[in-house]
Structure 1
Amino acid sequence: MRTRSAFAATAAALAAAACLTPTTAAAAPRQAQAQAHAPARACSPSVRIDGFSDALDKATFQGSFVGNFSALAVDKDGTVAALSDRSQLFSLDVRQEGRGTPSAKPVRVVNLADEKGGPLDSEGLVVDRDGTRLVTSETEPSVRRYGKDGKLLGRLPVPGALQVAPAGRAVSNQTFEGLTLQPGGRTLIASMEQSLTGDGQDAAGRPLVRLQTWQRHGRQEFALGPQYAYPADKGLGVAEITAAGDGRLLVLERGFTPGVGNTVRLYLADPRRASDVSAVTNLPGGAATRPVGKKLLADLGACPSLGATARQPQQNPLLDNIEGLAVTKRGGGSLRLLLVSDDNQNAAQITRLYSLTVRLPRP
């Protein structure tokens, strides 16, 4: 039996206070039912799962397969941009139903390509303040800018060491997996999925993964900025990063064990006191190097399954290959998150949307 968390109790109390007005007193029984239900959805003292949906799984839209999703971002028109790692960018009309179950339907899709018209291993996504799209590809790796119509507009510089070997020290398919833009729009951050060859571990034995930043100069141009060392949990990689809104980052770490299933953990990380390691050839780089601090918000395997089913072994059938994360609502110290799993166009995997509510601890 799951114990009642302070977060769930507070959220339920606030919801009850908002609903009990003279004109809505008749809703009290329904509110009481929701309040009693809230603890059953707690994943941790900081995180609650509101619902999930498999409605997009194995769907098609305008002849395109709806899936392979690796990143999410809220667009300027209120839709959610969903990036497929097969060089396509969908726009989803996303709504919350019932107690928070997400529903989504595709409304647009555009194709993306590199400078030669070739495909991308598109993994990270940011909708910039002018509506253009910044998209990472794991192949080189790269960060490219696209118009809303999918037209390639430019490309950002990437340090040589982060290039895939033999050009650099990155491992193929383990490069720029996450991308986010900090509040104010001046700092862009990309996360490597795994460590560079030659980089080591922190004092706790956690592999150090590099976060690369760019600083904006002018309206659109980004120049290379500081680089930070992030300690990923052993056996996991960094699947996504998203700005929390106060300088901190939400970090999604993910791993997979055949016959056991997925491990997915949500962390809150703070790069503001971390050392710039862009000049450090091999991490950890000595006692003077300070890595990014992080705090576990929830192991999503501890969330209630809510009746979800899985098509392959999972410790919790709710889980799948979760890769995308976006903040869809802020307020009252809480964030509403939308997550998506990448089904790899595989019959044994599922394209699943998840809605979570997170109460952030104080900095």
Structure 2
Amino acid sequence: MMACLTMLLLAGRPLLAQGNDLRVVRNNAQRSFSSSVPAGNYSGITPLGGNLYAVVSDKSPHDGFFVFDIAVDSVTGKLKSVGDRGFVYALAHNGDTLPNRDQEGIVYLPHSNTLFISGEKDNRILEYRLDGSVTGRSLAVPPVYSGAGSDYGFESLTYDSCNRCFWTVTESTLPVDGSRATPQNPVRNRLRLQCFNDSLQPCGWCYYEMEPPLAKKRPSMYAMGVSELCALGDGRMLVLEREIFVSKRKLGSFVNCRLFVVSPYSVLQAQDSSVKAVSKKELVSFRTRISLTGLSFANYEGMCLGPLLADGSRVIILLSDSQNRYKGVLRDWFKTIVVR
């Protein structure tokens, strides 16, 4: 592994960006498009080119991905429309459809014209062609991640095109790294940001420490972890921390999202004994909720780069998991944040 890391550092690529000096230009309001987007459990998104994006749903009937057409205003970065172009079924080598793997993260690689999709059920990251057929290749996940389980495994996946590296992270703390945060155990989740090179081999990792929980009361349902990563293409990466608190009576339930920027290559290490935590800078936070005055509750699980705007700023697209529009109450929310 040390040789792999050394090769990455000496590959002549600009591993480090100019620090964490990113800022939010505009935090646009979330929107739903119920007439053009089917109810789903959307958990990951990646740009395919133009207005097309590949989207995974963690409870779709089969393994595979949707193709969405997303139009963004070129000045404000606001969403104009989101439409479904259909579902592409994942296919085994014999042509059979494959079962759902709790698909959570997805990235498209233009140079190979393939997709990689992470599954939280099996904690594997597999390669697919655009027609849905599997290539037989997968990221070589280190054995330590077998301890993640099927509930707090690989929720995130991104690809740094500048350094040609994959990055992933488990949703919550691995047992070997400590306990997991809850309202009754207000610790900082300590996660491993794991890097893989273009040969699909592990190429070092660093710790990422989350903020402590905000929820104080005992929940009916609770989840806290990193729900997505988004490489910015210059060595920096966005990390989405998400805390879900559901009360017994549902009123007062909320999802709190906090978006941070990190430069992980600055502390990338190959040996456990010297691994450090990456520094981070908070860009923006927002909360959606269930209240007497409104229902904005949105569990944001997917995030990717959107288009460049006319002024050179960049759109970040986020999508939420509505649990198939739970009981006809929740919505499939989409949101954009403009950064520069």
Report the TM-score, using the length of structure 1 for normalisation: 0.71
1:321 equivalent among 289, 296, 299: 299
Against the structure 1 CA distance between its residues 189 and 74, is the aligned structure 2 distance closer, same or farther, given a 3 Å change threshold?
same
Unaligned 5+ segments in structure 1 are 1-44, 61-65, 164-168
Change (3 A) 1:139 1:132: same
Matched, 1:67 2:40: yes
Contact persistence 2:196–2:204 (CA under 8 A): yes
3-state secondary structure, aligned to 1:222: coil
Equivalent in the alignment of 1:213: 195
Identity among equivalent positions (%) equals 25
**What are the equivalent positions in structure 2 for 1:73-152 lying under 5 Å apart?**
73-85=46-58, 86=60, 87-96=63-72, 100-112=78-90, 117-129=98-110, 130-152=112-134
What SS class does the counterpart of residue 355 from structure 1 fall into? strand
Report the equivalent of 1:298.
284
> For 1:271 and 1:316, how far apart are their aligned partners in 2?
38
Q: Using a 3 Å threshold, how does the CA distance of structure 1 residues 185 and 73 change in structure 2: closer, same or farther?
A: farther
CA contact (8 A) 2:240 2:259 kept: yes
1:343 paired residue number: 322
Task: Report if aligned partners of 2:229, 2:238 keep a CA contact under 8 Å in 1.
Answer: yes
- 1:1-363 to structure 2, matched below 5 A, reads 46-56=24-34, 59-60=37-38, 66-85=39-58, 86=60, 87-96=63-72, 100-112=78-90, 117-129=98-110, 130-154=112-136, 155-163=138-146, 169-184=147-162, 186-200=164-178, 206-216=188-198, 221-235=199-213, 236-259=224-247, 260-276=253-269, 279-280=271-272, 288-301=274-287, 312-313=290-291, 317-330=295-308, 334-345=313-324, 346-347=326-327, 348-359=329-340
The answer to whether the 8 A contact 2:263-2:279 is kept is yes
The structure-2 alpha-carbon separation of the partners of 1:58 and 1:138, relative to structure 1 and needing over 3 Å to count, comes to: farther
Cα deviation digits, residues 66-89 of structure 1 (max 9, x gap): 421101111035401111112341
Q: Distance in 2 between matches of 1:322 and 1:337?
A: 13
How large is the RMSD of aligned CA atoms in angstroms?
Answer: 2.8
Q: What secondary structure, in the 3-state scheme, does the structure 1 residue paired with 2:177 have?
A: coil
- Post-superposition shift, 1:317? 4.5
8 Å CA contact retained: 2:36, 2:83: no
Letter in 1 for 2:301: E
C-alpha contact (below 8 Å) 2:92/2:134 kept by paired residues: yes
- Greater relative contact order (Cα 8 A, min sep 6): structure 1 or 2? 2
Alpha-carbon deviations, 1:304-326, whole Å to 9, x = none?
A: x8xxxx6x449984441011111
Partners of 2:190 and 2:161 in 1: CA distance? 25
Structure 1 residues 198 and 224: alpha-carbon distance in aligned structure 2, compared to 1, 3 A threshold? closer
Matched residue of 1:234: which SS? coil
Aligned residues: 285
Distance 2:154 2:143 in 1: 13
Larger deviation, residues 178-187 vs 247-256: 178-187
Is the contact between residue 154 and residue 171 of structure 2 (CA under 8 Å) also seen in structure 1?
Answer: yes
User: How far apart are residue 131 of structure 1 and its match?
Assistant: 2.2
Q: 1:316 to 1:198 in 2, by over 3 A?
A: farther
Residue aligned with 2:169, SS? strand
Q: Distance in 2 between matches of 1:319 and 1:49?
A: 17
Relative to structure 1, is the Cα distance of residues 176 and 146 closer, same or farther in structure 2, using a 3 angstrom cutoff?
Answer: same
TM-score calculated relative to the size of structure 2: 0.75
Alpha-carbon offset, residue 333 of structure 1: 6.2
- Report the 3-state secondary structure (helix = DSSP H, G, I; strand = E; otherwise coil) of the residue aligned with 2:144: helix
Gaps of 5+ in 2: 1-22, 180-185, 214-223, 248-252
Say if 1:109 and 1:181 are closer, same or farther in 2 by CA, change over 3 A.
same
Offset at 1:211?
Answer: 1.4
- Conserved 8 A contact 2:189-2:225: no
Asked if the contact 1:252/1:266 (under 8 Å) is kept, the reply is yes
Q: Say if 1:191 and 1:140 are closer, same or farther in 2 by CA, change over 3 A.
A: same
**Cα deviation 1:208-251 (Å, max 9, x = unaligned):** 101111111xxxx3222111111112233000000122201011
Q: CA deviation at 1:106?
A: 0.9
Per-residue deviation, residues 88-134 of structure 1 (Å, max 9, x unmatched) = 41111111359523411111311236788332110010001232110
